[in-house]
Amino acid sequence: MTRESPSARGALARIAREAWLVGGLPVLSIVAALVVGSVIILASELLLPNHAFDLLLPIKAYLALLDGSLGKESAIVNTLVSTTPLLLGGLAVAIGFKAGLFNIGAEGQFLMGALGAVAVGVAVSGAPPVVAIPVALGGGMLAGAAWGFIPGFLKAISGAHEVVTTIMLNYVARQVLAWAVTGPLAVPQSPSPVTYAVGNAAYPILVGRNGHLGILVAAAAVFVIWWLLYRTTLGFEIRTVGASSDAARYAGMRPRLLIILTMSLAGLLAGTAGAGVILGINHQMNSTFDTTVGFDSIAVALLARSNPLGVPFAALLFGAMRAGSGLMQIRAGIPVELIDVIQAMILLFLVAGPVLQRAFRLRGVRSDLGAPPPVPSEATV
């Protein structure tokens, strides 16, 4: 079959390289990011007047983070619940990357998915759960898909770059939600704006106090997306468009259609995440409904190198951090925005790692992680 049998050395080098990319580099990036986080915590201590400088504050903060995410059973369940939307969001961004698209609109697609779930959920709130749940979820999926369809369609037809259009739509989505919560879906005469509840469309609790059905939905999505991308012709087409849209045209594929399809699918996934939060946690929407899923999903997708099988692990990491951040704020007084900083640092070290490693002559294998799976080189904005 092969022309020459692969040398043992060559194979070992390849395995080592893969292990480094998948395990070593990400772990090192996380550690480096935590170090940077500690520096920021210590530096910000100096900003506070009347505050005794505590050298161990970073340790306390991280321990609280750990405790809040994995400390006891309820914490673990919280982590799973936090992970769920990040997992779906990460898939949404990852599948965009595979097609060469930058989906920064996960936030807007999430919000619209939540809105769709509320709107439909309220409508079917009286129906038996076995009907109400899928229908409400479907409403969320459809709304999210529509929000992904728009930038996909615009890109396919006019070439409008999806980075700008999706971010614009994020802001528009917020306005749409603000309108819905104070307008058509609002409970009249309520002291603060809030919608009706979704009643029977709510996800059942499967584990602990708040571990809801959404966790299973997310897990299922991982396998569906993996199977789609790597076992079907459609997935092959999506990946080809991402690798080279010129070659895709030559191969008889239709890049424009695939762009629209992929963005819609991404929107559907992010919308499922939003629907999950409504149906599984809030059960209704009020004016403070918000999310960090937008940037979190990008971080998850990059950390997982856009591989659907890696997304759950990356999502777990960030989900744990988000889940534990509350306790960190309570016990150590550290604002939850530190998680954003740590996230950015992880990505920074992931991306710059190979270069830094060469600069400091760390032992390591050369990595091609200058960028995740291909993004179009005409990636101009």
Residues 198-257 that bind another protein (CB under 8 A): 231-234, 236, 239-240, 243-244, 246-252
What residues pair up with 304 in beta bridges, in sequence order? none
| Cα angle, residue 49 at apex, residues 48 and 51 outer, rounded to 5° | 75
Asked whether position 160 contacts another protein by CB under 8 A, the answer is yes
Q: Which stretch binds another protein (CB under 8 A): 24-32, 109-117, 194-202, 330-338?
A: 330-338
Asked whether position 345 contacts another protein by CB under 8 A, the answer is yes
Measured in whole angstroms, the distance separating CA 56 from the mean position of its chain's CA atoms is 32
Q: Which stretch binds another protein (CB under 8 A): 122-130, 164-172, 211-219, 273-281?
A: 164-172
Q: Which stretch binds another protein (CB under 8 A): 132-140, 200-208, 275-283, 295-303?
A: 295-303
The distance of closest approach from Cβ of residue 14 to another protein in the complex, given in angstroms and rounded to an integer, is 11
* Nearest one of 217, 221, 219 to 133, comparing CA atoms: 217
Give the pair of three-digit tokens for residue 82.
């936090």
Give the pair of three-digit tokens for residue 74.
């309820």
**Secondary element (H or E) of residue 206:** strand 205-207
Asked whether position 365 contacts another protein by CB under 8 A, the answer is no
In Å, how far are 123, 136, 216, 354 from 79, measured between CA atoms? Answer: 31, 24, 14, 31
Binding another protein (rule: CB under 8 A), the pick from 9, 53, 128, 378 is 378
Question: Using CB under 8 A, which residues numbered 4 to 43 contact another protein?
Answer: 4, 6, 10, 40
Asked whether position 158 contacts another protein by CB under 8 A, the answer is yes
The answer to whether 57 and 65 are in contact (CB under 8 A) is: no
Contacts of 86 (CB under 8 A, 6+ apart): 273, 293, 296, 297, 300, 315, 318, 319, 322
Phi, psi of 207 (to 5 degrees): -150, 140
Asked whether position 189 contacts another protein by CB under 8 A, the answer is no
Asked whether position 164 contacts another protein by CB under 8 A, the answer is yes
Asked whether position 306 contacts another protein by CB under 8 A, the answer is no
The answer to whether 155 and 241 are in contact (CB under 8 A) is: no
Q: Give the position of tokens 């009706």.
A: 196
Number of residues in contact with another protein under rule CB under 8 A: 79
The answer to whether 124 and 136 are in contact (CB under 8 A) is: yes
Asked whether position 371 contacts another protein by CB under 8 A, the answer is yes
- Quick one: 219 or 344, whose CB is closer to another protein? 344
Question: Using CB under 8 A, which residues numbered 165 to 184 contact another protein?
Answer: 165, 167-172, 175-176, 178-179, 183
Binding another protein (rule: CB under 8 A), the pick from 352, 364, 365, 367 is 352
Q: Which stretch binds another protein (CB under 8 A): 62-70, 125-133, 310-318, 337-345?
A: 337-345
Q: Which stretch binds another protein (CB under 8 A): 76-84, 113-121, 137-145, 352-360?
A: 352-360
Asked whether position 339 contacts another protein by CB under 8 A, the answer is yes
3-state secondary structure of 186: strand
Asked whether position 374 contacts another protein by CB under 8 A, the answer is yes
- Binding pattern to another protein, positions 75-114, x when CB under 8 A? ---------------------------x-x----------
Q: Which stretch binds another protein (CB under 8 A): 68-76, 122-130, 320-328, 339-347?
A: 339-347
Binding another protein (rule: CB under 8 A), the pick from 8, 9, 47, 53 is 47
The DSSP string of 81-148 is HHHHHHHHHHHHHHHHHHTT----THHHHHHHHHHHHHHHHHHTTTS-HHHHHHHHHHHHHHHHHHHH
